[in-house]
């Protein structure tokens, strides 16, 4: 799978967050390597990647908690970095877990943040209600459950009514019920208040349920940016035939792209997903030329397969056309009727790639 990026807009004001060539180096270790993020405004954006990928470091760079080695950053239309920071309160965050005073109540923790930002503490009770801590305002934070502590951390990030919210692994360590509650709360903040939320996670299923747009990061590099549905390939058709060379020539004359994939069962010709009628015509033509068709299989990778392939091998492993032809020449004689089990006909045409979805809680 090739690395893909969303094209960068000419005007950084059109994005909630934009980075260009962002680099963070710790000695010889490159924690963030040329990151080009493009976060749409008023939605949920998922920063997805394995542990140690550079997600938390990226958030720290955006917040000014760490200094970039090189590169440019814009947040909410303003260039940030160095001495320039956004006005306090425009961005809320919870990085590497919630931070609070355990000996203070949830209400007093929120009031403390409001006081620091020169904001009235009267907003604290409403924020706590919004995150589902109504009735627990006076309880000491140390007595909160893990899920309640996560909620308190988000409440403290929301006290300033921010335009942008950065949440680092907000569901980490929560039980199933708490995960659902925090997820619904995050989606509601975006949907009902128009807040742009950037949420990091190493759990694909959680990001899939929350973020219609994602950036996949591994080893500090942005490997993919766009909708999760588009991360999956549109699908392909594998043909196993008696004479691959003749079949390949016929595909070429019909201007059908193909790749030769060698294998112990003789190899297959891999085509893009095609309409049923065109596949039927192709098979008729092959048989008419004396080519026996042993197997026709239509496949599409799952989202999990596509994600794992991307982070494990970010560079494309696909052979060049010359390599594919040489492999096909050497394997053609081994073509046989013994095929590995795959989903047989009827072949259904795969749906096209989905556009970015509205921020309604997940990619569709």
Q: Do the bridges between strand 196-201 and strand 44-48 make them parallel or antiparallel, or are there none, so unpaired?
A: parallel
What are the structure tokens assigned to 47, written together?
């920063």
H, E, C per residue of the chain: CCCCCCCCCCCHHHCCEEEEEEEEEECCEEEEEEECCEECCCCEEEEECCCCCCHHHHHHHHHCCCCCCEEEEEECCEEEECCECCCCCCEEEECCCCCCCCCCEHHHHHHHHHHHCCCCHHHHHHHHHHCCCCCCCCCEHHHCCHHHHHHHHHHHHHCCCCCEEEEECCCCCCCHHHHHHHHHHHHHHHHHHCCEEEEEECCHHHHHHHCCEEEEEECCEEEEEEEHHHHCCCCEEEEEECCHHHHHHHHHHCCCCCEEECCCCCCEEEEECCCHHHHHHHHHHHHHCCCCEEEEEEECCCHHHHHHHHHHCCCCCCCCHHHHHHHHHHHHHHCCCCCCCCCCCCCCCCCCCCCCCCCCCCCC
CATH class as words, domain 234-298? alpha beta
Q: What is the pLDDT of residue 264?
A: 66
Please give the pLDDT value at position 363.
33
> Which of these ranges, 13-17, 50-54, 57-61, 314-318, has the smallest mean pLDDT?
314-318
pLDDT value at residue 353: 28
Fold held by 13-89+161-229: Rossmann fold (3.40.50)
* Average of per-residue pLDDT across 15-44: 93
User: Is residue 329 scored above 80 in pLDDT?
Assistant: no
Q: What is the largest CA-CA distance in the chain?
A: 83
Residue 17 β-bridge partners:
39, 75
> Residue 285 above 90 pLDDT?
yes
Beta-bridged to residue 295, according to DSSP, are 240
Question: In the chain, what are the domain boundaries?
Answer: 13-89+161-229, 234-298
- Tell me the mean pLDDT in the region 13-36: 92
Q: Which residue has the higher pLDDT, 84 or 11?
A: 84
Poorest-pLDDT segment among 25-29, 30-34, 265-269: 265-269
Per residue in 88-132, pLDDT (tens digit) is: 889 999 998 888 999 999 999 999 999 988 888 888 999 999 888
pLDDT at 326 over 90: no
Asked if residue 358 has pLDDT above 60, the reply is no
- Cβ atoms of 78 and 72 within 8 Å: the answer is no
Confidence (pTM) = 0.71
At 157-214, the pLDDT tens digits run: 999 999 999 999 988 878 888 888 889 988 988 998 889 999 999 999 899 999 999 9
Say what the pLDDT of residue 228 is.
82
Q: What is the pLDDT of residue 284?
A: 94
| Per-residue pLDDT band at 233 (split at 50, 70, 90) | low
- Chain segment 341-357, per-residue pLDDT in tens: 333 323 222 222 222 22
For the chain, percent of residues with pLDDT exceeding 70: 82
pLDDT on residue 11: 65
pLDDT value of residue 313: 63
């Amino acid at each position: 799978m090739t690395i893909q990026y969303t094209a960068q807009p000419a005007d950084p004001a059109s994005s909630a967050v934009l980075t260009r060539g962002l680099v963070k180096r710790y000695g010889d270790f490159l924690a963030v390597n040329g990151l080009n993020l493009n976060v749409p405004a008023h939605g949920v954006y998922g920063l997805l990647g394995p542990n140690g990928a550079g997600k938390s470091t990226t958030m720290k760079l955006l917040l000014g908690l760490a200094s970039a080695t090189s590169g440019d950053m814009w947040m909410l239309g303003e260039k940030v970095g160095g001495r320039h920071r956004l006005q306090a309160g425009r961005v809320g965050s919870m990085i590497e877990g919630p931070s609070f005073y355990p000996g203070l109540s949830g209400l007093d923790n929120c009031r403390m943040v409001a006081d620091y930002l020169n904001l009235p503490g009267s907003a604290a009770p409403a924020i706590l209600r919004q995150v589902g801590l109504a009735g627990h305002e006076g309880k000491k934070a140390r007595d909160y459950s893990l899920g309640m502590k996560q909620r308190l951390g988000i409440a403290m990030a929301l006290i300033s009514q921010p335009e942008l919210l950065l949440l680092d692994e907000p569901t980490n360590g929560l039980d199933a019920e708490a995960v659902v509650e925090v997820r619904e709360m995050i989606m509601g903040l975006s949907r009902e208040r128009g807040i742009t939320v950037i949420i990091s996670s190493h759990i694909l299923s959680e990001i899939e349920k929350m973020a219609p747009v994602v950036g996949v990061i591994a080893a500090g590099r942005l490997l993919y940016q766009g909708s999760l549905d588009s991360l999956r390939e549109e699908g392909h058709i594998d043909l196993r035939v008696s004479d691959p060379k003749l079949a390949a020539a016929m595909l070429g004359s019909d201007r059908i792209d193909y790749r030769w994939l060698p294998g112990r069962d003789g190899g297959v010709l891999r085509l893009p997903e095609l309409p049923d009628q065109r596949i039927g015509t192709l098979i008729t033509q092959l048989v008419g030329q004396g080519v026996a068709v042993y197997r026709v299989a239509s496949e599409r990778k799952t989202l999990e397969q596509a994600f794992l392939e991307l982070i494990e091998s970010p560079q494309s492993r696909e052979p060049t056309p010359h390599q594919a032809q040489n492999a096909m020449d050497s394997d053609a004689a081994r073509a046989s009727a013994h095929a590995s089990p795959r989903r047989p006909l009827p072949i259904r045409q795969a749906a096209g790639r989905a556009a970015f979805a509205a921020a309604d809680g997940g990619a569709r």
